[in-house]
Chain A
């Protein structure tokens, strides 16, 4: 095979031939650091059974061909405009999200375990939200401290007593999972407006095209029906009595970092992508302005934060929302998904209690463990945190997207001193965690494959029932050694292949 349309000197990691004319092998100089779990190789440097075929195939490919594939993937992202803006960066709102071309593989056993753990967790979190905004038994029983919940900035007192269809507060959840030598752990639950699913699908499309043969040899499970599942989920959440609901996706607009995703999902679902100005509330019902007059809206999949959803209910200076939307929601005439106030359950100090929350509502042991967390509101934890700043990761409880975070081992003494000031001033606003030994996966670079830290964000949907596609947005820290994978901090993504089997016989079943 050859790729005549590729320029050999592009940025896509095309590897030159060695001076002798002998092509370098992709994994020739791959040096896995034993401190981290490697997704492809075991401790002795041998490819894991389900990665063997992938390794063999890629390693035997001429460097120019792999470089050409990487470039083709990047070009298709540019043409299609697969963007994720990094605020404050030059050329901002149209930054193409970086894609790394080498897929990461999970076998059926690994995925089945994750899937069960994710379902369990989301079920418990929805029960928790229904309880917190309802009878508040868990607070009365002292399992989660009252002040922690009621004092959380994401707690919406306006949600007390609101009837939520099927008790589903969180209908779209994006859970961040990491793997260390000890196994998988939940790093964060994203229960407000998680993004990334479109990049999962875009990565798949780009990689599948180029690695067609390999893709066929592995029994990779499909993820392309995500849009259909999302629509089905949202339809199930329509107000009672509405049989053919009109669903819309509410976006803050083209300048939002995830606008590409909003557009993509609206198109996949076949629903209108609306901005606040397109909607209005009249006699308690929500309408959108169409060329045929006003049309009633039943379900709003909003990609706007709680604060901005309705200037009459929340932040009055919001230009993005719809005045009166929340009132209509309280009357049960429209559904807002995710429900306002879900942020109380993904707050970084409530996170500490999620294993207890699972035990409390489901009477089961949590399948997926949390990362060890210290709440600085507790004086002993505060002391521990301040004493070990150089080894810990410290986060603000209400923040997401990697903002306001200190990564101890990668910080300078003066950064730590400044951060310690902030922590002392308001301890309850901070939690600390050990610096995680995030697993590594091979990524393409100018020097062949190199290890980079990765995590994964699967998306779990919940309407009348819970659904998920076997896949995830696999995030990559593109800078050598960096542990920060967040897209808003410049991270990239790679395709994640979930197999229908153990993947060990992929070679033999070649068509």
Chain B
């Protein structure tokens, strides 16, 4: 496959994953706005921002806010910024637009159905403003948008030829997912220390954002113990949004694209993923689950490895030097 197309698919997939994640964060946030106390909501905004590695454009979040009115005004501004703000590259609409722009460039590599689906999703978002959704079930809006994006993934899954194009689509999706989940769990542990008395809703909502609530309940009933939640999201191989699962899928696709050529950077990528997976399989279970610092250190390692992995993929498949290509 043409390197530029592979790169386009990879990025398209990353942006879509980011947009989907944004939809879930905001849908969850609007759920808490219905009945949670102000302080809790405020912490939850902090988690969102820390998880995205951003600070609000309006400046720091006010802490210790007591007034309900103030909180709603805040929510309005923050939701706008995270959904529609053109200056915010991580805003949901910016991500969908970037994904579509990548899709437009690689339209020969994706099916007509995939393009139409994404194009329609984008056109549906293009002119929406926060005031349009604020008084009309805002949560519905995020669920609907997420749905449109997941329909796209479904079409990709059921129509794409399983060549390198598919592999890079999957790589984009799971590299981004590792980053997002690792950052979100890290933010959670930083803001809600596991030793502290905790509101179950804080940890329940984290599970919700990671599509893990029902699976967790079946395993652990309603014991939302922080350590259990963290462990579930990091290391459970069977959970689609867990870091361990995502690493497995990345390893699988790296093998698929390397089958016909072995380059130094390609091998480096495989080794990097293997090392992190082994760390989670053999070291992680034996750490002290109450020791937040060591938990956060592992999450930091994962995020660093992911950044380097991204660079490996770039140089192995997208922009390699002539000398590094197999002799034509």
Binding site for B on A (CB under 8 A): 78-81, 253-254, 263, 266-267, 272-275, 277-278, 280, 282, 285, 287-296
Cβ of B201 to closest chain A Cβ, rounded Å:
41
Cβ of A91 to closest chain B Cβ, rounded Å:
11
Across the interface, do A282 and B3 meet the contact criterion of CB distance under 8 Å?
no
* B2 CB contact (under 8 Å) in A263, A290, A296: A290
Across the interface, do B115 and A80 meet the contact criterion of CB distance under 8 Å?
yes
Cβ of A258 to closest chain B Cβ, rounded Å:
14
Cβ of A267 to closest chain B Cβ, rounded Å:
5
Report 26 cross-chain contacts, Cβ distance below 8 Å, ordered by A residue: A78-B123, A79-B116, A80-B112, A80-B115, A80-B116, A254-B104, A263-B107, A267-B107, A274-B2, A275-B4, A278-B2, A278-B4, A282-B328, A285-B328, A289-B320, A289-B325, A290-B1, A291-B3, A291-B164, A291-B168, A292-B1, A292-B260, A292-B261, A294-B322, A294-B325, A295-B328
Q: Please count how many residues in chain B sit with their CB below 8 Å of the partner chain's CB atoms.
A: 28
With both beta carbons as reference points, the residue of chain B lying nearest to A269 in the complex is identified as: B108
Across the interface, do B1 and A293 meet the contact criterion of CB distance under 8 Å?
no
Interface flag for B190 (CB, 8 Å): no
Cβ of A239 to closest chain B Cβ, rounded Å:
16
Across the interface, do A288 and B322 meet the contact criterion of CB distance under 8 Å?
no
* A280 CB contact (under 8 Å) in B4, B108, B164, B322: B322
Cβ of B282 to closest chain A Cβ, rounded Å:
32
Across the interface, do B104 and A293 meet the contact criterion of CB distance under 8 Å?
no
Binding site for A on B (CB under 8 A): 1-6, 101, 104-105, 107-108, 112, 115-116, 119-120, 123, 164, 168, 257, 260-261, 317, 320, 322, 325-326, 328
How many Å lie between the Cα of A79 and that of B121 in the bound state? 10
In the complex, chain A residues whose CB is within 8 Å of the CB of B168: 291
Cβ of A276 to closest chain B Cβ, rounded Å:
11
New A-B contacts (7) at CB < 8 Å, excluding given A272-B108, A277-B4, A290-B2 = A79-B116, A81-B115, A272-B2, A272-B5, A292-B1, A292-B326, A294-B325
How many Å lie between the Cα of A282 and that of B317 in the bound state? 19
How many Å lie between the Cα of A140 and that of B3 in the bound state? 50
Across the interface, do A289 and B3 meet the contact criterion of CB distance under 8 Å?
yes
Across the interface, do A288 and B2 meet the contact criterion of CB distance under 8 Å?
yes
With both beta carbons as reference points, the residue of chain B lying nearest to A283 in the complex is identified as: B328
Across the interface, do A291 and B107 meet the contact criterion of CB distance under 8 Å?
no
In the complex, chain A residues whose CB is within 8 Å of the CB of B123: 78
Across the interface, do B108 and A291 meet the contact criterion of CB distance under 8 Å?
no
Cβ of A278 to closest chain B Cβ, rounded Å:
5
In the complex, chain A residues whose CB is within 8 Å of the CB of B120: 79
Across the interface, do B119 and A254 meet the contact criterion of CB distance under 8 Å?
no
Cβ of A499 to closest chain B Cβ, rounded Å:
29
How many Å lie between the Cα of A196 and that of B64 in the bound state? 63
With both beta carbons as reference points, the residue of chain A lying nearest to B263 in the complex is identified as: A293
A291 with B257, Cβ < 8 A, contacts A79-B116, A80-B116 known: yes
In the complex, chain A residues whose CB is within 8 Å of the CB of B325: 289, 293-294
How many Å lie between the Cα of A294 and that of B323 in the bound state? 10
* A282 CB contact (under 8 Å) in B6, B104, B261, B322: B322
A293 with B116, Cβ < 8 A, contacts A263-B107, A267-B108, A282-B322 known: no
How many Å lie between the Cα of A341 and that of B191 in the bound state? 68
Cβ of A83 to closest chain B Cβ, rounded Å:
10
Cβ of A246 to closest chain B Cβ, rounded Å:
11
